[in-house]
Structure 1
Amino acid sequence: MKKQFFLNLSLALLLCTGTTFAQRVDTVAVLSPSMHKTVKSVVVLPASYDQSPEKRYPVVYLLHGHGGNYAAYVNQTRPQLPQDASNMEFIAVCPDGGRDSWYWDSPADPKNRYETFVASELVKYIDKHYRTKADRTGRAITGFSMGGHGALWLAFRHPETFGACGSMSGGVDIRPFPDQWGMKRWLGEYADHPKVWDDYTVATQLYRLRPEPHVLGGRSNDWLGKSEVRRPAIIIDCGTDDFFYGVNLALHEAMLHNNIAHTFIVRPGSHNHDYWRNALEYQLLFFHNYFDREAQPQ
């Protein structure tokens, strides 16, 4: 009993020590040359950031869902995100993805280039203005709903930029929903452009990841033959009552069939912020472990 008391007291003191200094939550306006406008993002800095001027931090990019904005995570999905950033020592970046951009470079509207903005312009801005671990091993990206699609879309297409990725209740196959969530605004009508819809859905991007090579030892993200780009570490989460559950399950089965390593979590739950608040806690731990693993000498 006495030992348990001192264990709990030690843990409490450790947590208090780690949060002596306040974390910072900034809102920045980042110029997007490709879209000729500024785009807002929330940037969350851990409590230790201003106290450790030599330290560089990994970055987790968090993409919001349809109808949301850059403040969705700190205001609704996970208000404790600043504490998460301090406890795990990472920088969180929550960009505005527009009401319904789906994080594409639209083939129908050249003014909608959120893939370029997030995967290139925003990453360069964050690396220039903050003390980041400025390579793929120090970056992860995830999101919920539309943002879950966006996170996998960007990570699969830009593995040189993001070393880990996730999706929470993501719309990972858009084709069953041709009239929903404004997608035809950016891709055209499904009946008129089925090839475009095939090309712009996460479910058809698995070829970019390639099958797992047979290796002895080494890390989970081993080099792909002679390629200089490594597969991202992947975590996918979806509730059984979610309208996207079917497409997430199909993606999981396709990844198993293609021997693509990933973590797949299924729990009771539907398409809401309560589910994503819990899911994000597990995804942040997944990314924290990834960053720690990559920081170890080979």
Structure 2
Amino acid sequence: MLYSKNCRFTLLVTLCLSCFWSHAAKVDSLEVFSASMNKTYKAAVVVPNSYATSKATYPVLYLLHGGGGHFRDWLTSTPDKMLVKNLADQYNLIIVMPEGETFAWYLDSPANPNSKFETHIIKEVIPKIDGTYRTVRSNKGRVITGLSMGGHGAMYLSTRHPDLFCAAGSMSGALDMNWTKFKINEDFAKSLKNGFQQLMGSDDPTNDVYFKNSIVNMVETIKKNALPIMIDCGVDDFLVDINRELHQRLVYNNVPHDYIERPGGHTWGYWENALPYHLLFFHKILKGHGVTVN
């Protein structure tokens, strides 16, 4: 009798889980050929459950990973492995997580011709997504955010291509490429110096190539573009001073933006908590553009 009850209980749990998973967002692994780098990269694409039964066009969030990471980080590294799927379902939008390599900074390297990730995202990933899925194919339905290196990348790409995005965010962003401003130990600083040497062609962070590619120095362009911006960083993060610096520059230049500091450091626990706030911020903007899916 006990065995029979246990079997029935196990069957019930299995059926409940099957029902739950069948009504959750799905993850596609999409291959994107990069003509600019003559290489195929992957992107993870989370498609909300409603997509299968709807004929609507969907807004898209581009969600960038950080330094040392890869395209699947947001799916595998958060404490809650359902975070991105649940947010895609909650807000009925497609979430795209492209490859940015471990230290490419989402820009076209002035020193390495095989590292062109601004071109990859803008001219290869976005057209591939729009050609594969039913998306809002204008800046009214496209938003971007990311963590750390990806926070800088999201701000950098949106600032340089305001015709493609309607809002941008940054979580714990490395918003100045001058690594000597990071609150880090000597070994980490040496590692960054070597990485930047290969990427930028110089190990001098005061070099003009660093200055013109750092989002902290693009306030005039940010103001001209007038895109809604959300920036947040933990008070214990080694990048918090750089985030405060950009915030102060934006305030001084009367640039509207949302800025948040909350307890936490440079951790997945912090970013798991931060991402839903970014989605809420973006949802209000997308709703204002009339592109949300009910």
TM-score bucket of the superposed structures, by smaller chain: 0.7 to 0.9
SS in 2 for 1:124: helix
Q: By how many angstroms is 1:43 displaced? A: 0.2
Match of 2:23 among 12, 21, 24: 21
Aligned-partner Cα distance in 1 for 2:155–2:126: 16
What residue number does 1:191 align with?
Answer: 204
What residue number does 1:205 align with?
Answer: 218
The answer to whether residue 58 in structure 2 is matched with residue 63 in structure 1 is no
Deviations 1:178-213 (A, max 9, x none): 7553222111224387011111111111221236xx
Aligned-partner Cα distance in 2 for 1:192–1:130: 41
SS in 2 for 1:115: helix
> Structure 2: which amino acid aligns with 1:269?
G
> Structure 1: which amino acid aligns with 2:170?
S
Count residues in correspondence. 261
* Greater C-alpha radius of gyration: 2
Aligned-partner Cα distance in 1 for 2:177–2:248: 17
Aligned-partner Cα distance in 2 for 1:57–1:95: 18
Deviations 1:153-191 (A, max 9, x none): 101111001111100000001114375532221112243
Alpha-carbon distance change, 286 to 192 in structure 1, aligned in 2, over 3 angstroms = closer
User: 5+ residue gaps in structure 1?
Assistant: 1-17, 212-229
Q: Do the aligned residues in 2 keep the contact of 1:45 with 1:90 (CA within 8 Å)?
A: yes
SS in 1 for 2:107: coil
What residue number does 2:11 align with?
Answer: none
Aligned-partner Cα distance in 2 for 1:202–1:149: 7
Aligned-partner Cα distance in 1 for 2:50–2:41: 27
Aligned-partner Cα distance in 1 for 2:58–2:205: 46
Q: Do the aligned residues in 2 keep the contact of 1:19 with 1:47 (CA within 8 Å)?
A: no
Identity of aligned residues (%): 40
Q: By how many angstroms is 1:270 displaced? A: 0.4
SS in 2 for 1:259: coil
Deviations 1:225-257 (A, max 9, x none): xxxxx5321000001111100000000000011
TM-score by length of structure 2 reads: 0.84
Deviations 1:123-161 (A, max 9, x none): 111011100011111011100011101110101111001
SS in 2 for 1:30: strand
Aligned-partner Cα distance in 2 for 1:69–1:287: 24
Higher relative contact order (CA 8 A, sep 6+): 2
Match of 2:123 among 120, 123, 127: 120
Aligned-partner Cα distance in 2 for 1:252–1:188: 29
User: 5+ residue gaps in structure 2?
Assistant: 1-19, 181-188
Aligned-partner Cα distance in 1 for 2:179–2:148: 15
Alpha-carbon distance change, 262 to 294 in structure 1, aligned in 2, over 3 angstroms = same
1:1-298 alignment to 2 at 5 Å?
Answer: 21-52=23-54, 54-77=55-78, 79=81, 80-177=83-180, 179-181=190-192, 182-191=195-204, 194-210=207-223, 230-295=225-290
Q: Which structure shows the higher helix fraction?
A: 2
TM-score by length of structure 1 reads: 0.83
